[in-house]
Structures are given as structure tokens and as C-alpha cells.
């Protein structure tokens, strides 16, 4: 595997991320522990120093005062001094073994000690750096007596070297602990990575098969919830791709038929005019009319295809306006009558006057034209069409009903799909299956509800709803077809 591919693999990225996370947590733990331990220990030492010093100061003047000081210093590791203000005389100095000794470090008894005591109410806490031993001392000085204007001060001090030693000890172990943590984290991250990236790798391989056109590929369902969801989504996509591929092949077959047949008829009748009916006005007119009819079919097919392309590419802009839907219904019916499509049909109107709607007039006219044309195509024996439009709340419902062949219940969910045709191989094969999909696109662009009620051999009723006024917000009725 190439290095750049390795770096961009999800498994490698997850492993690195988990390892860095573990290292960061370990380092943060060390920083927090070291800081809190040092500060906490130092604060506790100072508090204990205060307590012991004040306890000892309270026994000043008692016969066993000095004995108590030796016991405290020897038993609890404190250094003790008593200093007189008269010439800064050192009256007593005990080491941490309770023995008389020199002052343990320079600076324990500062020259300005008594002025500092004056500023701090007779009790002064401070720290001293011991450069010789490389340690820090915590010190408290308390005034315990005042003899004829000469004060005596009790000084307790304790080394903070223990906490420094502990921090040093932890520092020597932190590298080992970090290595152990990283090793454990790496193993765990590999296990977790395999759990997540393994199903993803398998999904990737299956997706490649899907990309090559294998729509029967089975996506694995093992893994976390998100992977399972992705598998289900890819299966839906594969199903949709397969359905689209089938519709594409059917469309190509339909196009071949719907274009080849009119072209063949046109050529045949043109040859007949040239060789047979050229001198016969009646026959010539009949043949020319047939040529014109087949040409109109081709033109309608091309127009439908281009119209669908415009809708799906969003290049057909929706231009909404207020208009009278009743007038539009009658205009569409009159237009179809002019083209003799309604020859022999009885049109029943149940339409309220002055039904105003807010929509694209041209697009809604296309919807009405499609519904009425379908009603004509699928009405074989009963040439009767019922158009109904009425107000329902803030919407206007319009329906076009025929009394023809109807649609099987198992075909109803598919009639709005591209290129789908009801009974595509039966006697009612007409059109290219684009019209109802155009209706679907138009109504969804309007945010309107649409649908069909149909039963086999009992006719169909196609319907849609439109708003009577401009809607606020997202401009959609938020209805499902």
C-alpha cells in the first residue's frame, strides 16, 4: 500500500487519533497530578506548621517549655529557633532531631524580621530558598514574649524537600507509565479500529461492485448502527439504480418504437403520395393528413422530453400569480376541442365560478391538459369526462374523472415515475410515460398535493390542490402526494 493511501485510510487515522488521545490524557494526568500534588503538599505542610507553632507558643512560660520544643522538633522533623530583639541574639536553636545546633540555613532569620512582624501583627509566614541544599523552607515566626521592650520570637521551619523528591520520583516513572499506556491504547485502538473500519472496507468493496453496474450486490449489515444505516441506504440506492436502469432500457425501447413507428408511417405515406395518390386529390389529402398526424405525435414526444428536462434541471422558473382557475379549465378544454381530441366526448363541468388560485398559470394548464388527455386516451366505450373544481378551506381542489379502463391497484404507486406506462404491452399503449412525471414535478415545485383514485374497469379520477393565496414561510403546503 502506498504511504499516501495509508495516511488517508480511516483505520490508520482512527488508530493515530486514539493513540494521540491516550498520550494526551496520560500527559494531562501527569501535569495535573504533579501540580496538584506539589501545591497540595506544600499547603498542607504550611497549615501543619502553623498548628504546631501556635501550639508550642501557647506553652511559653511553662517549666517544660524547652523540653516540649525538643520533643516536637525531634518527633515531627521541625527546626526551632528563639530570637531576641536585643541584638538579634539567638537564644535557642534546635535541629530536626531535637538537638542543639546551628541555624540550618542562611535567611531563616532575616535581619528585617522584627519590622516584618510589626507589619503583620506579630506573626509572619515566609519561605526561604536554600541554595546549598537546593531545597525550600516553609517558616513561621511568632512573637511569644516582650521583656522590657525587647521581644522574643519563636521560629518554626520545615523543609519542603519531600515533595520535590516525590515529584522527581514520579518524573522517573512517567516515561515508563506513558509507554505502557501507549501500548495498551494502541492495542485497544487497533481492536476498535478493526470494528469500525472493517465493515467500512467491506462496504467500499461492495460499493465498487455497485459502481460497475452490479445492482444485485448484498451489503453487509454487521458493525455499528451508522454502518448498518449506510448499508441500508446503499441497498435502497442499488434498488433505485436498478429500477432506473430498467426504466432507462424501457424508455429506449419506447423511444425506438414511438419515434420509429411515426417515421415509418411518414415515409410510407410520402412514398404513396409520390407514386399512388399524387394525382388523386382525395387520397392525397388523406395521406397528407396522416403525415401531419404522425408529425404531431413526434413533436409532442420531443416537447414532453424537453419539458421534463427543463423541470428536472430547474431551468423552468415558476412564475406564480393570481388567476382564475375556472377560466383556465375552460380554456384548456376549448384548446383540446379545437384539435379535435374531444370529438365525440361529453364534458361535464362541476366548477365554481371565480375560483382564484396563486400558482404558475402555464404550468397548471399543462397539468390540466395532461389529466384531460389521459382521460381521453383511456376512455374506450364511455366517452364521458367529469371535471370538478371547488373550494376546500384555503385550497382549491380540482379533479378530472373518466369512466374508462382504470388502473390496477399494484400499478398505482408507479404511475408518477418517469417512463412508466400503464399496461405497457397491452392494447392501451400510448405516449411515452413522461406526462404524469411532468405533473409530479410541477406539483412538487408548487408544494401542492396531488394524486389519483382508480379501480380497474371503473375509471380514474386524477386530482390536485392549489392555494388560493400566497403562502408565507417556505411557500410549501407541506403535503405528500
Q: Are residues 35 and 104 in the same domain?
A: yes
Tell me which of 480 and 201 has the higher pLDDT.
201
Give the pLDDT band of residue 338 (cuts 50, 70, 90): low
Q: What is the pLDDT of residue 313?
A: 60
Q: Could you tell me if residue 273 is inside a domain?
A: yes
User: 425: pLDDT confidence band, cut at 50, 70 and 90?
Assistant: very low
Overall average pLDDT of the 389-411 stretch: 91
Q: What is the mean pLDDT of residues 445-468?
A: 90
**Do 37 and 71 share a domain, yes or no?**
yes
Q: How many CB atoms lie within 10 A of CB 184?
A: 11
Do 117 and 254 belong to one domain?
A: no
- When mean pLDDT is compared across 41-55, 291-305, 317-331, the lowest value belongs to 291-305
Residue 428 lies in a domain: yes
For residues 255 and 322, membership in a common domain is answered with no
* pLDDT number for residue 197: 67
Of the two residues 67 and 419, the one the predictor is more confident about is 67
Closest listed residue to residue 326, CA positions, set 403, 236, 413, 388: 388
Three-state SS annotation for the chain: CCHHHHHHCHHHHHHHHHHHHHHHHHHHHHHHHHHHHHHHHHHHHHHHHHHHHHHHHCCCCCCCHHHHHHHHHHHHCCEEEEEECHHHCEEEEECCCCCECCCCCCCCCCCCHHHHHHHCCCEEEEEEEECCCCEEEEEEEEEEEEECCEEEEEEEEEECHHHHHHHHHHHHHHHHHHHHHHHHHHHHHHHHHHHHHHHHHHHHHHHHHHHCCCCCCCCCCCCCHHHHHHHHHHHHHHHHHHHHHHHHHHHHHHHHHHHHHHHHHHHHHHHHHHHHHCCCHHHHHHHHHHHHHHHHHHHHHHHHHHHHHHHHCCCCCCCCEEEEHHHHHHHHHHHHHHCCCCCCCEEEEEECCCCEEEECHHHHHHHHHHHHHHHHHCCCCCCEEEEEEEEECCEEEEEEEECCCCCCCCCHHHCCCCCCCCCCCCCCCCCCCCHHHHHHHHHHHHCCCEEEEECCCCCEEEEEEEECCCCCCCCCCCCCC
335 has pLDDT over 50: yes
Least confident of 77-86, 139-148, 333-342, 375-384: 333-342
Domain boundary among 129, 145, 165: 165
Clarify whether residues 302 and 323 are in a common domain: no
Residue 3 domain-assigned (yes or no): no
Going 86 to 89 to 95 to 99, the CA torsion angle's sign is negative
- Residue 399 sits in a domain whose CATH number is 3.30.565.10
Percent of the chain beyond pLDDT 90? 21
pLDDT, position 116: 92
Is position 474 within any domain? no
Q: Are residues 147 and 275 in the same domain?
A: no
Q: Is residue 350 domain-resident?
A: yes
**Beta carbons within 10 angstroms of residue 320's beta carbon:** 17
Any idea what the Cα angle at residue 411 is, between residues 407 and 415, rounded to 5°? 90
Set of cell numbers at residue 389: 373544481
pLDDT higher at 163 or 381: 381
Q: Is 197 a member of any domain? A: no
Q: Are residues 132 and 235 in the same domain?
A: no
* 450, 463 contact by CB (below 8 A): yes
pLDDT given at position 423: 60
Q: Are residues 250 and 285 in the same domain?
A: yes
Task: Encode pLDDT of 121-170 as tens digits.
Answer: 999 999 998 878 788 899 999 999 988 888 999 999 998 877 666 666 66
- Comparing CA positions, the residue from 63, 64, 98, 61 lying closest to residue 80 is 98
454 and 461 Cβ atoms separated by less than 8 Å: yes
* Residue 212 forms part of a structural domain: no
What backbone phi and psi angles, to 5 degrees, belong to 6? -60, -45
Res 477 pLDDT > 70: no
Instruction: Residue 253: give the domain boundaries.
Output: 225-309
Same domain flag for 230 and 341: no
Which one of 144, 165, 186 terminates a domain? 165
In a domain, 429, yes or no: yes
Structural domains counted in the chain: 3
What is the rounded distance in angstroms from the CA atom of residue 23 to the CA atom of residue 400? 71
Q: Which residue in 469, 461, 241 sits closest to 355, CA to CA?
A: 469
The closest alpha carbon to 328, from 295, 303, 353, belongs to 353
Grid coordinates belonging to 276: 399512388
Could you tell me if 341 and 287 lie in one domain?
A: no
Report the CATH number that the domain containing residue 115 is assigned in CATH: 3.30.450.20
Of the residues 142, 165, 188, the one at which a domain ends: 165
Check whether 479 has a pLDDT greater than 60. no
**Higher per-residue pLDDT: 274 or 473:** 274
On whether both 342 and 299 belong to a single domain, the answer is no
Gap between the Cα atoms of 72 and 70, Å rounded:
5
Residues 292 and 347 in one domain: no
CATH number at residue 230: 1.10.287.130
Amino acid at each position: 500500500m502506498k504511504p499516501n493511501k495509508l495516511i488517508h485510510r480511516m483505520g490508520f487515522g482512527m488508530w493515530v487519533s486514539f493513540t494521540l488521545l491516550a498520550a494526551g490524557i496520560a500527559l494531562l494526568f501527569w501535569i495535573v497530578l504533579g501540580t496538584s500534588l506539589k501545591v497540595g503538599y506544600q499547603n498542607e505542610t504550611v497549615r501543619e506548621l502553623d498548628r504546631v507553632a501556635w501550639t508550642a507558643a501557647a506553652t511559653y512560660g511553662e517549666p517544660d517549655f524547652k523540653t516540649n520544643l525538643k520533643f516536637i522538633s525531634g518527633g515531627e522533623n521541625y527546626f526551632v529557633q528563639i530570637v531576641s530583639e536585643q541584638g538579634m541574639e539567638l537564644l535557642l536553636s534546635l535541629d530536626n532531631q531535637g538537638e542543639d545546633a546551628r541555624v540550618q540555613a542562611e535567611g531563616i532569620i532575616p535581619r528585617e524580621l522584627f519590622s516584618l512582624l510589626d507589619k503583620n501583627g506579630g506573626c509572619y509566614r515566609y519561605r526561604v530558598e536554600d541554595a546549598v541544599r537546593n531545597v525550600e523552607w516553609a517558616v513561621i515566626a511568632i512573637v511569644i514574649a516582650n521583656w522590657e521592650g525587647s521581644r522574643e520570637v519563636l521560629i518554626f521551619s520545615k523543609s519542603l524537600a519531600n515533595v520535590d523528591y516525590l515529584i522527581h520520583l514520579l518524573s522517573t516513572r512517567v516515561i515508563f507509565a506513558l509507554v505502557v499506556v501507549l501500548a495498551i491504547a494502541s492495542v485497544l485502538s487497533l481492536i476498535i479500529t478493526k470494528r469500525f473500519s472493517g465493515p467500512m472496507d467491506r462496504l467500499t468493496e461492495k460499493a465498487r461492485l455497485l459502481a460497475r453496474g452490479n445492482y444485485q450486490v448484498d451489503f453487509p449489515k454487521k458493525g455499528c448502527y451508522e454502518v448498518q444505516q449506510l448499508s441500508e441506504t446503499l441497498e435502497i440506492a442499488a434498488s433505485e439504480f436498478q429500477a432506473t436502469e430498467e426504466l432507462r432500457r424501457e424508455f429506449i425501447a419506447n423511444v425506438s418504437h414511438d419515434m420509429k413507428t411515426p417515421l415509418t408511417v411518414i415515409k410510407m405515406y410520402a412514398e404513396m403520395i409520390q407514386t399512388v395518390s399524387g394525382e388523386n386529390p382525395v387520397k392525397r389529402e388523406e395521406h397528407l393528413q396522416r403525415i401531419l398526424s404522425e408529425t404531431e405525435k413526434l413533436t409532442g414526444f420531443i416537447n414532453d422530453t424537453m419539458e421534463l428536462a427543463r423541470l428536472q434541471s430547474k431551468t423552468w422558473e415558476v412564475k406564480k400569480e393570481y388567476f382564475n382557475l375556472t377560466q383556465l379549465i375552460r380554456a384548456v378544454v376549448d384548446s383540446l376541442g379545437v384539435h379535435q381530441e374531444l370529438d365525440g366526448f361529453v364534458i361535464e363541468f362541476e366548477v365554481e365560478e371565480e375560483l382564484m388560485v396563486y400558482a404558475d398559470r402555464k404550468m397548471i394548464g399543462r397539468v390540466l391538459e395532461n389529466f384531460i388527455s389521459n382521460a381521453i386516451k383511456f376512455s374506450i366505450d364511455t366517452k364521458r369526462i367529469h371535471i370538478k373544481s371547488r373550494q376546500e378551506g384555503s385550497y382549491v381542489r380540482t379533479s378530472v374523472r373518466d369512466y374508462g379502463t382504470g388502473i390496477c391497484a399494484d400499478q398505482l404507486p408507479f404511475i408518477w415515475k418517469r417512463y412508466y406506462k400503464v399496461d405497457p404491452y397491452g392494447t392501451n399503449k400510448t405516449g411515452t410515460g413522461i406526462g404524469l412525471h411532468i405533473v409530479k414535478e410541477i406539483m412538487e415545485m408548487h408544494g401542492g398535493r396531488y394524486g389519483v383514485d382508480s379501480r380497474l374497469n371503473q375509471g380514474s379520477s386524477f386530482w390536485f390542490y392549489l392555494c388560493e393565496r400566497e403562502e408565507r414561510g417556505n411557500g410549501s403546503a407541506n403535503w405528500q402526494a
